Every structure is written in C-alpha cells, then in structure tokens.
Amino acid sequence: MKTIKLYSEARRGNVETLTFKNAPKGWNSWDCYGASVTEEEVLLNAELMRDELLEYGWDTVVVDIQWYEPTADSSFYHKFTELDMDEYSRLIPSVNRFPSAKDGQGFKALGEKIHAMGLKFGIHIMRGIPRQAVHQNTPIKDSTYTAREIASANSIAPWNTDMYGLDPDHPGSQVYYDSLFELYASWGVDYIKVDDIADSKLYGTHLDEIKMIHKAIKNSGRPMVLSLSPGPANIEYAEECQEYANLWRMTDDYWDIWELLFGMFERCRVWAQYVKEGSYPDCDMLPMGRIGIRSIDGGATDRMTRFTQAEQRTMMTLWSIFGSPLMFGGDLRYNDDFTWGILKDETLTLMHREVTSRREVSNDGTLITWEGISQEHQYTAIFNVSDYEVTIAHPVAGKITIASHDVCLLKNDEKVTLYGQ
C-alpha cells in the first residue's frame, strides 16, 4: 500500500519551508457533529480514514469549533457560556468530551494517537481572546500584559459570543498569539482553521490578525497549515491570502443543496487564477455521507446527504479539477458503497494531485466545461447543470450523453467512467 503525501514536511524551526504538492484532504467534524464532537468519535473516524482512505491521500483529521465548551451539544452556540481555559487566557479541551486532556495534557495525547496512525491533526479556533479572560483580566504568558489590555471589545463575531478580537496596535497581542501557537505546537497540531477572520460579516477581512497568526506560526517552530474561514473571502485580498495563509474559504457554510453547488462554479471561475502550490482557495467541506447527526445547520438534521449520486460526482470533480481542499463532512462509519467509491475514485485522486493549471473553458447555461492540465495529462470536465439529459458530439470522444446534474470527464480526450456511472 503506497500512501500519497499531500504536502512535504518542513524542517522544524523553519516553517517557511512547508510546501504543498496539492491541497489537503481529510475529515472535519462540523457537518456531522456541529460543535459537539467527542474524542471517541474523532478517533473512530481517524481509524477509518487510516484503514480506508490514507492510501488515496486523505490524511488530515480536524476537530472543529467549541472543543473547549463542556456543554456543547449541537451546532447551536450557547451564548456567554463558561469555557475551559488555562491560567494564561488560552482555551483548552473540555475533559468531559476529551478525556485524554486531563491533568493539563490538552490535545497532546489525542494528537499523538492520530500521528501514530500516519495522519495529521488539526483544530478549529476563533480569532482573538476569550471574553471570559477579558472579564476576569487574566494574564498573558511570558509578559506583564493582561487580557483586558490587549482585547478590542468592539471586535466581535455576530454569530458566536466566545471571543473578542485583539488590538493590532498593542504589542501584547502578538505575545498572546505567540503563546497560543506555542501551546498548539506542544500538542502536535499540524493544521489550524481560524474562524471569523476571512470574512467576519461585521468588519470584513481581519488582515492584521491574519498577519499576527502567520507570524505566531513561524515563531512556534512547528509547521502548520493555516486555513481561513468563513467566506466569502474578499478577492481584493487574494495576494495577501496567498502570502499569509495556505487555504481560505470562497463561500459561507456550504451544504447539500444543489443551488449552492451550482453557485460554486462561478466562485471557482473567479478564484482559479489564484490556485498555486502552497495556497488554495477553499470550496468548503464535502457534505456527503451521514451528516447532521448533532447539527441543526443546512436546513435539516440527521440525514444521509441530499445530493444525488450525480451531484456528488459533479461536486467531487469540480473540487478536484479546481484544486480545492477536500474535507469530508460525514461520519465515515456510515458510508455506503457509493460514498467510499467516489472518495477512492482513482481518476479523481490523480487529477486532484497532479493538475497544475485549470480554467473554465465555456458556460452556455446548460453545459459548463473546465480544463485541467498536468505534466502528463489534459483533463476536460463537461458538467450538465440543467434539469434534463443532454447529448453532445465530442470531436474525439464521439457521442456523449450526460445526465442532469452529472459530469462527463475526459482524460486526454478519452472518456473516463467515474464511480457509479
């Protein structure tokens, strides 16, 4: 069994050497468990990823938001609830949900278990500092500063009450972020998803805090993938996103609704020129398999994805030819044969890994055609976005019939049969 490496290891102490062969692939807990995932659920999904998907390049396990909240029970946020925090104003995992975090261990033990499986470990954080730290005026590690001094009380997330932003003009703000990422480095974190930062809804892009976090990762001595959420990121900051981050969301939360998938074609068209080795516009997680187990988002609760098999092929093909990160959102324990099959599809795996340039070729409102080029192959994806079957005559491949919301993929002008077709 040969494992596909998605990105190379950087030399410790020189994080700028972290480079990507292509965008990360993995699993994120949000779509299935909202804010309430437990250590047991994370490990069970990690084990399945190791056993079933690692050889296809899926290698990153991400614990999403609220891992520091003991009472988290769905995707619904509990306003102004008590959070678990250390003596230096830094949030730590709740032991009732992550038992290995006892005795101040944080995520160190969980990270070690995931690394032992040959996987990478990621966490979600909100930008800024906990409000409760500010209210208690707790200290900042390795300084004489306190939380109240460095917080910007007018900088908040409208959808989550946990944090205040940081004052970019106060020297203690960088000291705090440095202490935060020093802690994450000690836990063995490989991937950081930072929320309320790419598009904060109230204030736009928090470029100053992005720069501080970028610097804190460098100062930590440990390479970490930096992912910015939520979207849509402002394309006016595309070059800054490339300079200071690895991934950034092009959209708000994405769910299993055809209209959202259809809208992604235009987002991909606009952002395609900014996909390059080491930095990737992010189409968001893949709401496939069983999702909404403890989540009220996306217009439904516990369900198998509402996407048809054709729509899932379209999504996986668009994400792959575009070069988006691929983060599976369902609980892997409930995957059916089709879900496993499309995640392991060899052509999609190869295309995602090797395409170095991509573009939308045409869009007539019924068929949208994309081209992806690698050193060895030319891929052409013809998407039928209409509500009816379409037949076309290709100059090399001949007569092609494409079902509604499905895709025909050509590799060097030869038709490829994707899983389930």
Question: 412 in a domain, yes or no?
Answer: no
Domain that holds residue 108: 15-355
Q: Is 162 within the bounds of a domain? A: yes
> What pLDDT, on a 0 to 100 scale, did the predictor assign at position 10?
37
pLDDT at 20: 57
- HEC profile of the chain: CCCCCCECCCCCCCHHHCCECCCCEEEECHHHHCCCCCHHHHHHHHHHHHHHHHHHCCCEEEECCCCCCCCCCCCCCCCCCCCCECCCCCECCCCCCCHHHHHHCCCHHHHHHHHHCCCEEEEEEECCEEHHHHHHCCECCCCCCEHHHHEECCCCECCECCEEEECCCCHHHHHHHHHHHHHHHHHCCCEEEEECCCCCCCCCCCHHHHHHHHHHHHHHCCCCEEEECCCCCCHHHHHHHHHHCCEEECCCCCCCCHHHHHHHHHHHHHHHHHCECCEEEECCCECCCEECCCCCCCCCCCEECCCCHHHHHHHHHHHHHHCCCEEECCEHHHCCHHHHHHHCCHHHHHHHHHCCEEEEEEECCCEEEEEEECCCCEEEEEEECCCCCEEEEECCCEEEEECCCCEEEEECCEEECCCCC
pLDDT of residue 371: 98
| 215 part of a folded domain | yes
In a domain, residue 41? The reply is: yes
Please check whether residue 10 lies inside any domain of the structure.
no
Q: Give the pLDDT confidence score for residue 204 in this predicted structure.
A: 82
What confidence score (pLDDT) does residue 297 get?
83
**Domain harbouring 231, CATH code:** 3.20.20.70
Q: Look at residue 299 in the predicted model and tell me its pLDDT.
A: 80
pLDDT at res. 223: 95
Kindly state whether residue 372 falls inside one of the protein's structural domains. no
Domain count, the chain: 1
| pLDDT given for residue 202 in this prediction | 79
In a domain, 140, yes or no: yes
pLDDT at 121: 98
Q: Is residue 365 part of a domain?
A: no
pLDDT < 70 stretches in the chain? 1-20
